[in-house]
Amino acid sequence: MNDEEKKEQRRRIEALSSELRAIRHDIHKHPETAYKENRTAAIVAEWLEKWGLKVHRGLGGTGVVGTLRKGDSNRAVGFRADMDALFIQEKNTFEHRSMHEGKMHACGHDGHTAMLLGAARYLSESESFNGVLHFIFQPAEEGAAGAKAMIDDGLFDLFPCDAVYGLHNMPGIEAGHIGLRSGPILAASDRWTAEFHGSGGHGSMPHKGTDPTIAAAQFITAMQTIVSRNADPIDTAAISVGHIAGGEPNALNIIPSEVLLGGTARSFTDTTRDLIERRLHEIAEATAGAHSCEVDVSFLRGYPPTVNWREQTEMATRAAEAAVGAECTDPNLNPLPGGEDFSFMLQQVPGCYAFIGNGFSEPNEFVHAPHYDFNDEIISKGVNYWVELAKTELDDIP
């Protein structure tokens, strides 16, 4: 592609941006949470049909897949956007603020949906790839595993993909810059609980019973060694206590018979994830045993680590460099300890998950904050990335 053609592509994508901005604002105004994305899914499906894509609705609940075929190649690639909002009361006052009490697009999924729609629109009108593109609009990324619901409902049987790609906005990265990396890019997001049981008793006579408070306290300090002593220092992890409960504030002379703890665990590899689960059990049980108490530990697995495949990361890097320039592409982004259900797709199909910078806001709001908003200025860059990725992946132009 020569410079003139590149310019023309950018101009045509830029020409779509006011329509895409309007779609984004409309979706932002009408946020829908996990598996309730009926209005959003209907809008997505209607646009895709209008642009001539073959549309499948209601996959994994409210998921939508639009398929675009050009040329004679059967190579197929999936592009994924998430559509769901969060249970957050929006504090923005701009015109497109949420109309739904207690619900908000605070993670920018409105922008992801608009960018992927823009790519579908552009690619439906261009002859720049040879193969099959599946535009995957999924429900319930925020904790309710919509990607897995779509897979379980036959996503990759109905729409076999040779590769799959995801794109998420990220505040704190320069607007429109793209960051990615081969290997783990996001963490496994798991929860754990430990319930310590003892006899409890009178606070004046601790020797008459067993005290789960002491066992729980020692467990909290001892479990710090999972990260500092057990995990490989270059395969890091985070384990935090998020909840402690025991006793009654109006009964301070009583040793409680039960102390409940719970928290989160983040890891970037299955090895460290398994290690954390095993060591939480061992340390809790040994500590409880040392104090003649008992403990019930549970480790509740959430999303697995999001692990990018090498070859697809190279493709995505080439596409990012073509779309936003090499100087605005970081192929060695540090992994982030958040979780993503795109990880389930990457367990089935080779692919790559990338971030597009949302820029720096004042005050410096992160995703899931009540003033967060997707940056309209990056829509056309995101569309350009998807278009370049389609061309890179399916480059045998008929």
Binding positions for Zn ion, rule: CB under 5 A: 107
Q: Are strands 131-138 and 163-171 parallel, antiparallel or unpaired?
A: unpaired
Of 292 and 366, CB closest to Zn ion: 366
Q: With CA atoms as reference, report the closest residue to 169 among 372, 390, 332, 393.
A: 372
Residue with tokens 């439906």: 124
Minimal distance, residue 154 CB to Zn ion, in Å: 24
Is the Cβ–Cβ distance between 303 and 372 less than 8 Å? Answer: no
Task: Identify any residues that bridge with 167 across adjacent strands, giving them in sequence order.
Answer: 354
Q: How far is the CB of 108 from Zn ion (least distance, A)?
A: 6
Alpha carbons 52 and 54: distance in angstroms, whole number: 7
Q: How far apart are CA 227 and CA 175, in angstroms?
A: 34
In the bound state with Zn ion, the residue whose beta carbon lies nearer, of 16 and 149, is: 149
Minimum gap (Å) between residue 106 Cβ and Zn ion: 7
Is residue 352 within 8 Å of 180, Cβ to Cβ? yes
User: Least distance (Å) from Zn ion to the CB of residue 379?
Assistant: 16
Q: Which is nearer to Zn ion, 189 or 384 (CB)?
A: 189
- 47 closest CA partner among 133, 135, 130, 108: 135
Closer CB to Zn ion, 107 or 117, in the complex: 107
CA pair distance 203, 211, nearest whole angstrom: 10
Least distance (Å) between residue 314 CB and Zn ion: 25
188 vs 223, which CB is nearer to Zn ion? 188
Smallest gap from Cβ 98 to Zn ion, in A, equals 15
CA distance 376 to 378: 5
Virtual torsion, Cα 180, 158, 81, 387, nearest 10 deg: 70
- Nearer to Zn ion among residue 76 and residue 88 (C-beta): 88
Question: Smallest gap, in angstroms, from Cβ of residue 322 to Zn ion?
Answer: 25
Q: How far is the CB of 160 from Zn ion (least distance, A)?
A: 26
Residue 142 CB, shortest distance to Zn ion, in Å, is 5
Q: Can you tell me which residue has the tokens 């505040």?
A: 171
Closest residue by beta carbon to Zn ion:
107
CA angle 364, 385, 311 (to 5 degrees): 105
Write the CB contacts of 392 (distance below 8 Å, at least 6 apart in sequence). 315, 318, 319, 322
- Kindly report the CA angle at 113 between 112 and 118, in degrees rounded to 5? 95
Cα 281 to its chain centre, rounded Å, is 28
Of 107 and 356, which CB lies nearer to Zn ion in the complex structure?
107
- Written as six digits, the tokens of 313 are 């990361």
Q: Which is nearer to Zn ion, 141 or 330 (CB)?
A: 141
Distance CA(398)–CA(389), nearest Å, equals 17
Q: How far is CA 341 from the centre of its chain?
A: 5
- The nearer residue to Zn ion, 107 or 216, going by C-beta atoms, is 107
80 pairs with which residues across the strands?
136, 166
Q: Smallest distance, Å, CB 107 to Zn ion?
A: 3
Going by the DSSP 8-state scheme, the letter that residue 206 receives in this structure is G
Q: Quick one: 64 or 107, whose CB is closer to Zn ion?
A: 107
Alpha-carbon distance of 256 to 210, in angstroms, equals: 9
